[in-house]
Structure formats: structure tokens, C-alpha cells
Structure 1
Amino acid sequence: MDPTPALPPTGPGPATAGPAAPGPAGTRRPAPRLVRAVVFVLLADALAWVVCLPLWTGGRGLAWPPAPAFILLMMTTPALAAVLTARLLPDGRPLRTVLGLAVPWRRGWGVLVVAWLGPLLLSAAAVALSAVAGTLVLDLRGFSGYAETLEALGPLPLPVTVLVAVTLVQLLFAPFLNGVAAAGEELGWRGFLRDALRDRRRAEVVLVTGVVWGTWHAPVVLLGYNYPDVAPLAALGLMAVFTTLLAALLEWVRAASGGVAGPSLAHGAVNAAGGLPLLVAAAGQRPSSVAVGLLGWPGWVLMAAAVAVLVLTRRLRPAARQEG
């Protein structure tokens, strides 16, 4: 059964066309959706820069030990921007609806399993494609690259093969913990922003949310996050490519599961699998971030293929309107 049935248009035309319908005396007219979207994006970006400002002062950057805590705090800014925008520019609907907080008790459980395991399998396939393409040399016996990384921190407490096995087991459960942190972003991207764009075609929603999501990472990407071996502005462009492809897959999860819980879980799984290339790489190599794993072109190829399958099987209809 198609988990994403065709959705009817929300109205005869974009919600921003023409003046808002008059309401009862003394009531506040809802702000146009486009205005809500723009205000949200500006707030999310501004809050991200404010949170990450300490990373830019004093030349500390990502090498500063507390940097991960600031990045984690930055992940809450889209949700905060969404709540602030909804309060400043209300449209008369419950905040729960605007943020996509529906819990998929009766539908979408199969999609949640895909959201949990799919990114892990996709990340593993991207590593395999990197190895086939020659951009990553694997060591699946001695895990010499991982051992090299750990030995730089001190003596190994256990054999490296045992440590790899423990890490892989943790990788299965990490998406749930990471998904809680990722919800701070998803309440903004697949929650508020998607809702504000619900009168647009699905392809437009994916493109806008993907680019906004990618450029929102500017405070850390420009410091070398994710693409440390690329010029800062080029890295930001690469990040936007990655997030746009991923946004298409998360849009299917969002539509099929009916809320942001699914995208949050999938987002958490992607973050959890980010270090997979380091786990299986051979020692003595410095692979390019653009050519290895899910963040590099092997991952882009696989994500684009997955999006094509969803479109061809009509599970991600480019022309479908978003539910209101």
C-alpha cells in the first residue's frame, strides 16, 4: 500500500495571494505564510550565530574542548525559532499542529523502522562505494585506522576488534539518543518551515528546506565542520547539496509517518553513522571529506538514487501539495 496517498490542494491558490480574510472584531489576522517562513529562517540563523559566537572569539574554533556543547546547543535553535515565530505571528492553529508533533500511534511504524535502520545501511553502502571507487582503503581485519586514532589518546583498554564490536552495537541504539537532539532541528525544518510552505509543490519544499538547513550550518561549517579540507564557502555549498538530498528522503519519512518523530530518528541515525568511515579505514591515509562516506559524493549518489526510487514508485510525488 502506498504510505503517502495523494494530498488534495489546501485551497485554490497560495495562501499569500490577496489580503487575509477579515475576522471577528478585535481578532488578529494571521500573518501570510511566506512572512512566517522568512521570519523563522532569520530567527533560526541569528540564534545559531549567537550560540556559536564563542567559537569565533579568541580564535578557539572547533578545537576548543567545549565546542561540542555549543554545537549541541545550536541544534535547539530551529525549534526555539519556530516557537517564537508561532507566538509572534500566530495563525490560529495549535502549536502542536504547526510543529508536526503528531505521534504515529496508528500509522507509520514501518516507516520509523526504515528511519532507524535506513540511514545506517545507507552510510555503510556509501563507505563500500568509497572503497570501490578507491577513495577509501579499508581494513576490516585489524581496523588499523581506528586503532591509530585511539592510540593517539592513550593505551587501548581492550583489543581493537572488541572496541569495534562494541561501537557497532552502540551504533544501533545511538539513533534514538541522537534523535532527541536532532528533534531540535526537525521541529524547525520538517515541522514549522514545512508547515509554512504547505501550499507549495513538494519539490519546492524539499529545495527550500534543504538549502535553508544547509546554510543554517554556516557558523560551524565555515570553521571546518564536516568539510575541513575544503575552502569555507565551498564547504557551505557542499553542505547545502548534502542537506538538500537528505531533505528529500526526510520529506518522505515526514509525510509517511505523519509527524517529526520519524525525521528526528532518521536525522539522529545519520549523525550517529557519521564516523563510520573512520571505524573501518586503514591507517596512514587522509581521505577527502568530499570523496568518502555519506557526506561525500558516494553518499550523494546513493541518496539521489534513493530519491529517484521514491519518485518513480510514486511514494514521493513532486507535484503533491502538503497537508494542512
Structure 2
Amino acid sequence: MSEKIETRAAADIAPQPEPRARVPWVAVGVFAVVSCGLAWLVAAPLWARGQGLHDPLLPLIAMAMMLTPAAATFVAIVVDGMLRGRRPARDILRELGMWPLRPVGRTIGTSLAMIVAMPLIVGAGLVVVGVLGLAEFDLVGFSGFTELIAAQLPPGQPLPPMGLVVAAQFMMIPVGALINAPLAFGEEVGWRGWLLPALRPLGVWPALLLSGAFWGFWHSPLILLGYNYGLTDGTGVLLMMLACTLFGVLLGWTRLRTASVWPAVFAHGAFNASAGLGALVIAAGSPTPEAWLASPLGVITCGVFAVLIVLLAAVGQFRGSRLAARLG
């Protein structure tokens, strides 16, 4: 009986290519240069036009920038293939954690869990903001959100039932995770799909921390315009590197736990879909806390990330026996 169980378990694990014995530093360097270079190239119109975050092109440019890590991944794979020899496409897909989805249950379960976890993480940050008295929230009348909607409607037009509108916004987060997934994939195939496994020979923690810090640095073209924190100097970049390092540990854990990039993709999409939760529950007339402190990627949320990382580490989730046996 035990032999049958072991055979069945082995069949549920996707065959993996041989793990790297050392970091492919040439390919990593190419990935770093191409991803950052393309990010600055895509964001250049925002700097050239002089409108900064008020530029109507900002949403399109931000979305296009999310695709640059995928382009950098393609170039890095080509360079790595020139150095290591050509590999079958199926091996490359396995190395990136794209296919096959085995073990299926763990991959799907982790993806669903992360979709649920993201709004809870943002919500936990809002709770801390409220406890510290940095903002006031209205969870009954949703007065701040009501004012926002009223300002966008023609004079005299009645407001919809705000409780239902807010409930619908919360229920749309899983849908938003799916809608955001293609763009989130553009980033995650680079950070967690390629870069994290490429750095894995350094050890689990160095790979997680370095890949996350670089993810934050890659945001520099937008952060230096005041994106996320309202800061236009290196302080904003450092804050983004801190946030992405901590968030990247959580996303990287899903990659190492499942050998799949998809849980990180859906978690990234769900987090982006949850970023506006504060606007739904803030009270009219509430003080506005500093973005660097209380935004979805501010210091307070970084604290929430850190607590979750400590809890995962305490229960052994970063031990080798709990992680996928092989990554490319």
C-alpha cells in the first residue's frame, strides 16, 4: 500500500529540470540592465512631457512598464541558452514555473488563499492606521466614499445605496485579481518566475531578499516622480525597495512552496485590486495620513508583511523540506 501511495505522490509532482549549481551572473546582469533600461524607456514620456503624475498617459505607461520584466526574461533566457546550451521549451516553462501545474491542488489552493489574503493584509494595515489615530473610518455610512461618488454625479441625481456599492467593490476583488493577472504576469514571470530561481544557489533567504529589493528598485522611474509615496528623491526608492523586499518574500514563498509562478501572479493582481480599500471606508473630513506611512505599500503595511513573514518562518515554512524540491 505504501509503495502505491509513494508512486501516486511522485506522479503528482512535475518533473523538473536539473537545478542550477551556481548563479548565472551574466544572464542576471543582462536581466537587470534590460528590465531597468526598458522601464526607464517606457516611462521617459512622463519625464519629457513635464506633467509627472498628472499626465493622462500615466495609466497606460504604468501598464506598459509592468510588461518590461517579461521582455527582460526573454532576453535573459536567450543569453543563458547561449551559455548553457539550448533547452527544450518544456524545460524553460518548468523553470519559469508556468507549466505543468503539478501538484495541482497545492498550486490552485495557494493561488486562492493569496487572493483572499491580499485584501486582508491591506485591511490589517487600515486597522493599524485607525488604532494609531492617523485617520478616521466610517464602516456604516461610508461618508467619505459617499462624498466622492456624489462629487462625480450630475447635480440632483440620487445616490445608489452606498452599502451595496461598497459590498460590490469588495466582492469584485477576486474578479480584479483575474483582470489584473495578465499585467501582473508581466512582472512576476521576471521577479518570481526567472530571477528568484536564478538566485536560489545563494540560499533561500538571500535569493528572496535580493530579488525583492531589485523589484523595488526597478520601480524608480515612477517612484522618483512621486508615485506611491509623494516623494521625489531617493527616500521614496528606498521605501519602495523595503516594501517590495518584504512583499517579495511572501510572493517568493508561494513560488518556492509550489514551484509555480501562478500563485504570485494572482496575489499580485489581488493586491493591486485591493489597494483602494481605504477610499471605501474613510470617513468624511478625516485627516489624510502621509502616504509613506499609511499607503498600501507604506511603512505600516510593511509591518504587516513583516509579521506574516515571522509567523511563516516560525512554523517552518521556509525550511527546505517545506519547499519545492527543485527549481530551474
1:79 aligned to 2:70?
yes
- Structure 1's consecutive aligned runs of 4 or more residues displaced over 6 angstroms after TM superposition are 318-322
Cα distance in 2, alignment partners of residues 138 and 318 from structure 1: 43
Extract unaligned runs of 5+ from structure 2: 1-17
Q: Residue 171 of structure 1: CA displacement? A: 1.8
Total equivalences in the alignment: 299
Aligned counterpart, 1:233: 234
Of all paired residues, the percent bearing the same amino acid is: 32
Aligned counterpart, 2:254: 253
Aligned counterpart, 2:103: 106
Q: How does 1:1-324 map to 2 (within 5 A)?
A: 10=19, 15=22, 33-90=24-81, 91=84, 92-93=86-87, 94-107=91-104, 108=106, 109-155=108-154, 158-228=160-230, 230-284=231-285, 285-317=287-319, 323-324=327-328
- Tell me, what secondary structure is at the counterpart of 2:38? helix
- Tell me, what secondary structure is at the counterpart of 2:152? coil
Q: Residue 231 of structure 1: CA displacement? A: 4.2
Q: Residue 270 of structure 1: CA displacement? A: 0.9
Contact 2:253 2:318 in 1 (8 A): yes
Extract unaligned runs of 5+ from structure 1: 1-8, 17-32
Cα distance in 2, alignment partners of residues 218 and 103 from structure 1: 34
Q: Residue 173 of structure 1: CA displacement? A: 1.8
Larger relative helix fraction = 2
1:318/1:68 CA distance change after superposition, 3 Å? farther
Contact 1:200 1:322 in 2 (8 A): no
* TM-score normalised by length of structure 1: 0.85
* TM-score normalised by length of structure 2: 0.84
Contact 1:214 1:240 in 2 (8 A): yes
Contact 2:228 2:291 in 1 (8 A): yes
Contact 1:201 1:322 in 2 (8 A): no
Contact 1:148 1:283 in 2 (8 A): yes
Cα distance in 1, alignment partners of residues 143 and 172 from structure 2: 20
Cα distance in 2, alignment partners of residues 150 and 50 from structure 1: 36
Q: Deviations over 1:106-149 (max 9, x none)?
A: 34222122121111111111111111111221011221222233
- Tell me, what secondary structure is at the counterpart of 2:201? coil
Cα distance in 1, alignment partners of residues 299 and 219 from structure 2: 19
